[in-house]
């Protein structure tokens, strides 16, 4: 049963969605960026240190908990439809994940569309991953466990990075944490329709707009952009969490189905009544905190 605070937040979001429709306001990629920068500014919890670094040309930041386990590192690739989001919009979630897991979490500020189209985000995701594999918050050095993860577009980007690493014959992460991954930029899933009324945050229309901004002249079905069409064989364990009230529910379901068919160890957890990236929006609400704890458990156990 959702908490009262979650119900209130959901009602406000649904009201905003109805008003935007009545006023014929359309979400644009740059409008999404401005909205995220206004609404998702947050700080890491107490006991977590924030350290900005250059991850081989990709502006990034470590969120390091007190007494952190230097053996475990996590790369988090933020969401925002490839057009929005940055370190500041996601440092709160990364900080809570760091504190809950004991791991050092690196947030990468990859290049955004429409200024930088595909494959800019993928190139930056790969660069940040390779840098983190060789460097921790205390300097150069290897780690016992390396995890990669992301939410929404960052979840799709995580899968694209994994497939690129495998195809290049490089070492793989020990696991991947995917929160409501956007893995199909053709935007054709059945839940785009069946969850349209239930989802107060995301709509097929603005997903198409963000996809168009990111794809440039590239076919959106390209694996590096839409990993749902790629080969999942050889990927590390995937831990997928998604809400039942999301238009992107179908992306998670198809990813899990194809990955399992390819022999990948997959966990798919569908959270009743939850909306898109609730873990990142409200990491301190009961529902968000519970999801952060589950992500943290996967980080520790991967």
Which residues are marked as active site?
Answer: 152, 246, 276
Distance of CA 113 to the CA centre of its chain: 16
* Assigned token pair, 56: 């081989």
What residues pair up with 140 in beta bridges, in sequence order? 135
Q: What number of CA atoms fall less than 13 Å from residue 55's CA on the CB side? A: 32
- The runs of H, that is alpha helices, within 23-85 are 29-39
Local structure of residue 196 (DSSP, 8 states): T
3-state secondary structure at position 112: coil
For tokens 């940040």, name the residue: 128
Nearest CA among 232, 249, 231 for reference residue 240: 249
Place of tokens 């589950």: 294
Q: What 3-state DSSP class applies to 147?
A: strand
Q: Which residue has the tokens 């198809």?
A: 254
Q: What is the DSSP pairing of strand 139-140 with strand 266-271?
A: unpaired
CA-atom Rg of the chain in angstroms: 18
CA nearest to 146, candidates 158, 164, 156, 160:
158
């Amino acid at each position: 049963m959702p908490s009262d605070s979650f119900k209130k937040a959901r009602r406000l979001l649904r009201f905003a969605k109805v008003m935007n429709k009545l006023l014929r306001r359309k979400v644009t990629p740059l409008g999404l960026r401005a909205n995220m920068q206004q609404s998702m500014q947050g700080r890491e919890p107490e006991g977590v240190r924030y350290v900005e670094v250059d991850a081989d040309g990709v502006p990034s930041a470590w969120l390091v908990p007190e007494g952190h386990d230097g053996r475990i590192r996590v790369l988090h690739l933020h969401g925002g439809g490839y057009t929005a989001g940055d370190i500041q919009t996601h440092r709160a979630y990364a900080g809570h994940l760091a504190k809950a897991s004991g791991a050092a979490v690196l947030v990468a500020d990859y290049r955004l569309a429409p200024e930088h189209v595909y494959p800019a985000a993928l190139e930056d995701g790969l660069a940040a991953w390779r840098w983190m594999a060789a460097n921790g918050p205390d300097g150069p050095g290897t780690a016992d466990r390396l995890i990669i993860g992301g939410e929404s577009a960052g979840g799709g980007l995580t899968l694209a990075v994994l497939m690129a690493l495998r195809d290049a014959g490089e070492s793989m992460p020990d696991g991947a944490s995917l929160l409501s991954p956007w893995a199909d930029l053709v935007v054709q899933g059945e839940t785009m329709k069946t969850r349209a009324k239930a989802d107060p945050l995301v709509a097929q229309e603005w997903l198409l707009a963000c996809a168009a901004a990111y794809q440039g002249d590239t076919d959106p079905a390209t694996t590096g952009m839409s990993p749902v069409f790629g080969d999942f064989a050889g990927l590390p364990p995937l831990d997928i969490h998604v809400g039942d009230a999301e238009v992107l529910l179908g992306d998670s379901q198809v990813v899990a189905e194809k990955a399992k068919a390819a022999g990948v160890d997959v966990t798919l957890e569908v959270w009743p009544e939850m909306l898109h990236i609730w873990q990142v929006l409200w990491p301190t609400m009961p529902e968000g905190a519970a999801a952060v704890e589950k992500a943290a458990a996967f980080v520790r156990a991967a």
